[in-house]
Amino acid sequence: MKVSIKSDTRAKQVTITLSEIDFEKMATESFYQSEKRVQQIVNNIGKELTREILQSRDIDDQTIERDGRTWYRKEASAGHYQTLYGEVIVSRHLYQTSAGGATRCPMEETCGLSFGAATPLLAEMLSFKVSALPPGEVAKDLAKHGLQLSTSFIRDLAQQVGRLAVEKATTWQLEAPSPETPVEVVATGFDGTTAPIRGEDYKEAMCGTIALYDRRGERLSTEYVGAMPEAGKADFTNRFTSRVAGVLARYPKALHVVLSDGALWNWQLIKEHYPEAIWILDFWHAAQHLSQAAEAIFGRAPSEEKSAWFERWKTALRDEPGGVAGVIRSLIYYHNRPGRGGKARKELDAQLNYFRSHADKMQYADYVAAGLPIGSGVTEAGCKELIKARFCRSGMRWDRDSGARVLQLRAIRLSDQWDSFWGKVMRYAA
């Protein structure tokens, strides 16, 4: 099959002529086979149109001025480029200074070919796909669409884009589409989850979430910030707090809520960076500690008395104003009853201290009445979706640098910021 294109710029018409096509055969073979031939035709048309557009951006001036220097034209040569429709070969001119050395291609610069042999649309599509799937699976997916690319090409290109995403993580302020209803609450949270690091077994990676809510308590959107395992978590802290500051500045009238479990490091960061926020200890972590207290009081064996006590105080903790005070009084009552063994008493001491220490962050009935979230499920789900689903598949092991690039691309995708990101790539990097 051959494709020829003739354009009429004045009439704004493009005529595409297909030759050497056995249409009679296409009409009589199975419809599935006909569809596959149509796919090949469309890809060939796409290649030819892309080649024509690339060719039109070439220049053949004897000299050009760039970077304060004069560059001299060399003989035209063939350039091989990977497109969304397959490889195209374009005759284009390279330029070189009188001192020799590196050459430059004005056509590539004009077209934004800043990711090696890949066109911008292909670079965007491949990096978007690698944020969700391993390169090998991306290659198989593309092959079903008639595009044959090697796994190494896909991996290396996504790493180039990911490197840029990491480098610009704190300087490019990416934005998702604005919510259609007013933002009343900005709820932030962060947590760690393990990821397999090459030569080091599993280490803790970090996930931060910034969720926007309306006045009814409906979640409008969620932004994700991730970081590969690092000592001290300084990179994550800097990027997360910087991004939270940007979101709060965008919604200055919204209440800022910080949700977390009882981890000491989490609350140290919260106290340092968000002293004015509303602090809420995740209700389900509190309920888990209530369950542990029930075991310390009634033993590990199932019993109606234990179940009734747990359900009574879980409901009170969540639904009754000052419910945590009732929980503490009940724990003190059982703590002071005689006959409790040393191990059970020690466990009950720990749970009593837990509820006393965090009582100010457990006013759940008041939070719910104000339309505030009381659970850190968004962050826990973020750990699974941002990190576990992509980084903990069978047989995977990650280097920190390459993993950080994929993680940043994935965070951009899940945060619905991809169009904002790629727009900046085309504007500032291409």
Q: Which domain holds residue 15?
A: 1-110
Q: What is the CA radius of gyration of the chain?
A: 30
**Backbone φ and ψ of 349, nearest 5°:** -60, -45
> What pLDDT shows up at residue 27?
85
In contact, 124 and 84? CB cutoff 8 Å: no
Residue 420 clears pLDDT 90, i.e. is over it: yes
In a domain, 82, yes or no: yes
In contact, 209 and 257? CB cutoff 8 Å: no
Residue 410 clears pLDDT 80, i.e. is over it: yes
Per residue in 43-89, pLDDT (tens digit) is 999 999 999 999 999 999 999 999 899 999 999 999 999 999 999 99
Lowest-confidence segment of 238-247, 306-315, 336-345 by average pLDDT: 336-345
> What pLDDT shows up at residue 141?
97
> What pLDDT shows up at residue 168?
95
Please count the structural domains in the chain: 2
In a domain, 421, yes or no: no
Kindly indicate the confidence band of residue 162, based on its pLDDT and cuts at 50, 70 and 90.
Answer: very high
Work out the burial of residue 12: count CB atoms within 10 Å of its CB; fewer than 13 is exposed, 13-18 middle, 19 or more buried. exposed
Average the pLDDT over 339-361 and give the result: 89
Domain boundary among 353, 369, 385: 369
Percentage, residues of the chain above pLDDT 90: 88
In contact, 165 and 412? CB cutoff 8 Å: yes
SS3 content of the chain, % helix, strand, coil (to 5): 50, 20, 30
Per residue in 322-342, pLDDT (tens digit) is 999 999 999 999 988 876 667
In a domain, 19, yes or no: yes
CA angle (119 as vertex; 117, 124 as ends), nearest 5:
115
Domain boundary among 369, 387, 412: 369
Report in angstroms the alpha-carbon separations of 298 from 325, 347, 353. Answer: 21, 12, 18
Q: What is the 3-state secondary structure (H, E, C) of 237-306?
A: HHHHHHHHHHHHHHCCCCEEEEEECCCHHHHHHHHHHCCCCEEEECHHHHHHHHHHHHHHHHCCCCCHHH
> What pLDDT shows up at residue 345?
87
In contact, 270 and 282? CB cutoff 8 Å: no
Average the pLDDT over 371-375 and give the result: 94
Domain boundary among 56, 88, 110: 110
Report in angstroms the alpha-carbon separations of 215 from 38, 88, 182, 183, 367. Answer: 51, 53, 8, 7, 13
Average the pLDDT over 197-208 and give the result: 95
In a domain, 148, yes or no: no
In a domain, 327, yes or no: yes
**Mean pLDDT rounded to a whole number for the chain:** 94
State pTM to two decimals.
Answer: 0.91
> What pLDDT shows up at residue 144?
94
Cα dihedral: 200, 228, 264, 335 (round 10): -60
Per residue in 22-43, pLDDT (tens digit) is 888 888 899 999 999 999 999 9
In a domain, 330, yes or no: yes
Taking the C-alpha atoms of residue 50 and residue 113, their distance in angstroms, rounded to an integer, is: 13
In contact, 63 and 73? CB cutoff 8 Å: yes
> What pLDDT shows up at residue 73?
96
